[in-house]
Structure 1
Amino acid sequence: MVELAVEQLRQRILDGVWTVGQRLPTEPELASELGISRNTVREAMRVLAFSGLVEVRQGDGSYLRTRVDPLHAVLAMSRCSPEQARETRHILEAEAIGLAAERRTEADLQGLREALAGSAAHFHSDVDAYVSCDLVFHQRLVDAAHNPALSELYRYFSGVVAAALQHNMSSVPRCQTVFDLHGQILEAIEQRDPQRAKRLSRTLIES
């Protein structure tokens, strides 16, 4: 049912039913239109978000990001090994965070503080909620580099990051020291210290 829902939604996107940047109908609305359950719609939207077609904004809804399906690129990312994923994060995320320390604005800092507070609220509770909040924080770290290409690459790669994070949090005890690295990274960015920000980011990636 989920695969069927994904194909129906993909076809609507290809047919131009929604425009790029448009807020999509709610889960109940889509469930009613497609004649399926809300849970099926939710899973289908997760697939579309992972493939990069849809952006899910927590508390706001889902938005169409692009009509060009980057599925092949995303599948290639999803097949990478844990070591390859770590290498990619070192190259992409840590370097972007170094740039963020040099280029961040006050608005970036405010957004990062809000995202970190959201993560902290869920760190010792629901894994799915924490992973969603943590991805927002990491995306905002990369966005603070103010390089649209880096931001877009990280959005596609974030599905791999989410899968690894979910696996780690489900298989090993949660470590407050590891979470605290997030706040230290934010502090380094606030202080415009790119070398410290990159060093802390690499430590976090290896944790």
Structure 2
Amino acid sequence: MDMLKVNRVSAVDAIINEFITQIREGRWVPGDRLPSEAELTKTLGISRASLREATRALVHAGLLSVRQGDGTYVVAVDETAVALNRRVSSSKTTEVLEVRRGLDASAVPLAAARRTEADLTAMRAALDQRKQGADTGDLEAFVEADFQFHMSVARASHNELLADLYESLNVPFRDTLGTAMGQGTDEHEALYTAIEQHDTTQATELALGIIARMESPQSPRSQSPAEKSE
């Protein structure tokens, strides 16, 4: 019995390590659905019991999420990002915005200096989707597009650490956008233009101005995401 137990634990560990490798090397990214249980057991030569145990462990770690009747999805890249997200999600929204201000103050001038045509294309697409979400009253689409615009700006910095930090905070950052529906279209367009024109000073001022507007006392900005859901 002891040998069987050791073998089973080793199999589970091997599956966990393989899944983490797939995620960290970018073959599976957040939002991807994993292959079916039948496919994974056949491909990896493992038992369903070992696969399910490994999956449970990665769900508990926050890397995977099981959607009943739909499948298993990747939701994070590493455990550190998950822990950070959980910590930030319990913070006041004002604190989240302060962190975002610091990241934007670094990322935006770098983006204005280093952006490529591909970066501009990604920003333009996100801005168009943002406007469409606002015009149709689709809050989910608006928030997603707004975040993707700012994420594309972070990526345009071509500083991988900055972009990874921005991405790791995607959930609490999205939570700060819920009351901004339809706001700031002109500001975002101006920010895009400043980055397009390599105007680092103007781009930085505009980015920080967007955050300052979100921190305005006219908006309920002192609550945490958890408090807002009560």
Per the TM alignment, residue 52 of structure 1 is displaced from its structure 2 partner at its CA by 6.8
In structure 2, how many angstroms separate the alpha carbons of the residues matched to 1:127 and 1:165? 9
Query: Judging changes above 3 Å, is the alpha-carbon distance between structure 1 residues 64 and 156 closer, same or farther for their aligned structure 2 residues?
Result: closer
TM-score normalised to structure 2 length = 0.62
In structure 2, how many angstroms separate the alpha carbons of the residues matched to 1:148 and 1:126? 31
Counterpart pick for 1:93 among 97, 100, 104 = 104
Give the aligned residue type for 2:86. L
In structure 2, how many angstroms separate the alpha carbons of the residues matched to 1:98 and 1:87? 18
Per the TM alignment, residue 152 of structure 1 is displaced from its structure 2 partner at its CA by 0.4
Contact kept in structure 2, 1:53 and 1:66, CA below 8 Å: no
Match of 2:88 in 1: 77
Give the aligned residue type for 2:18. G
Counterpart pick for 2:122 among 87, 97, 111 = 111
Counting aligned pairs with the same residue, the percent is 27
Runs of 4+ in 1 over 6 A off after TM superposition: none
Q: Secondary structure at the match of 1:22?
A: coil
Task: Count the aligned residue pairs.
Answer: 165
* Structure 2 unaligned residues grouped into runs of 5+: 1-12, 41-58, 66-72, 214-230
Contact kept in structure 1, 2:34 and 2:74, CA below 8 Å: no
Counterpart pick for 2:141 among 123, 126, 129 = 129
Q: CA RMSD in A?
A: 3.0
* Structure 1 unaligned residues grouped into runs of 5+: 1-10, 34-47, 55-61
In structure 2, how many angstroms separate the alpha carbons of the residues matched to 1:78 and 1:156? 11
Q: How does 1:9-88 map to 2 (within 5 A)?
A: 14=16, 16-17=18-19, 19-20=22-23, 21-23=26-28, 24-25=32-33, 66-68=77-79, 70-88=81-99
Give the aligned residue type for 1:73. L
Match of 2:218 in 1: none
Per the TM alignment, residue 67 of structure 1 is displaced from its structure 2 partner at its CA by 4.8
Task: Answer with 1 or 2: which has the greater Rg.
Answer: 2
Match of 1:205 in 2: 211
Give the aligned residue type for 1:16. E
TM-score normalised to structure 1 length = 0.68
Give the aligned residue type for 2:156. A
